[in-house]
Amino acid sequence: MKNEELKKLRYFYFILIFLLVVSAFAVPYTLLNSINLFRGAFLFWSFFALAVIFLTIKITTYWRDN
């Protein structure tokens, strides 16, 4: 892959993960702080982690051993 293309992808994934991490701090303390149920902060953080795991694995799928 070309350098420019890789750089774009790097920024893309970096920003996506960064936004997810910011949401992990912001959302449970603001939007979900009154929902004392499984579908509140518990579910949100679980989905957040799964999303970051998915993106991390996705990044590794580009790699080629040669």
Partner 1 sequence: MPTTYLYIAVILYIVIGSIVALMARREMKEGVVEYFLSGRNTGGFVAALSYSATTYSAFMMIGLAGFTYSGGVGALGFELVYLSGLSLVAFFGPRFWLIGKKNNYVSPYEMLGDRYQNQWIAFAASLSACVFLIPYLAVQLMGVGYLLSGLSGGEIPFIFGVAIAVLLAIAWALVAGMKSVTWTDSLQSLIMIVVSIVILFYVIYQHLGGFSEFFSSLAVLEGNVLTVPGPGFFKFKTFLGLSLPWFFFSISNPQVSQRLFIPRDLKAMKTMIKGFLLFGFIYTMVSVFWGFSARLLIPGLAKADLATPELLASQYVPTALALVAMIGITAAAISTIDSIMLTLSSLVVRDIFKNMDDNLDRDQNLRQLRTAKISILIIAIAGFFFAIQELNLIATLSVAASIGLLVVVPSMFGAFFWKKATAAASLSSIIFGSITALYMQFSGWAPLGYGAGVWTLLVTTAVFILVSLFTQAPTKKAEEFIGYINQECNRKDII
Site residues (CB under 8 A) for partner 1?
1-3, 6, 9-10, 13-14, 17, 20-21, 24-25, 28-29, 32-38, 40-42, 45-46, 48-50, 52-53, 55-57, 59-66
CB-based contacts of 27: which residues, under 8 Å, 6+ apart? 44
CB of 35 to partner 1, least distance (A): 7
Q: What is the rounded distance in angstroms from the CA atom of residue 17 to the CA atom of residue 62?
A: 17
CB of 32 to partner 1, least distance (A): 7
Q: What is the rounded distance in angstroms from the CA atom of residue 36 to the CA atom of residue 34?
A: 6
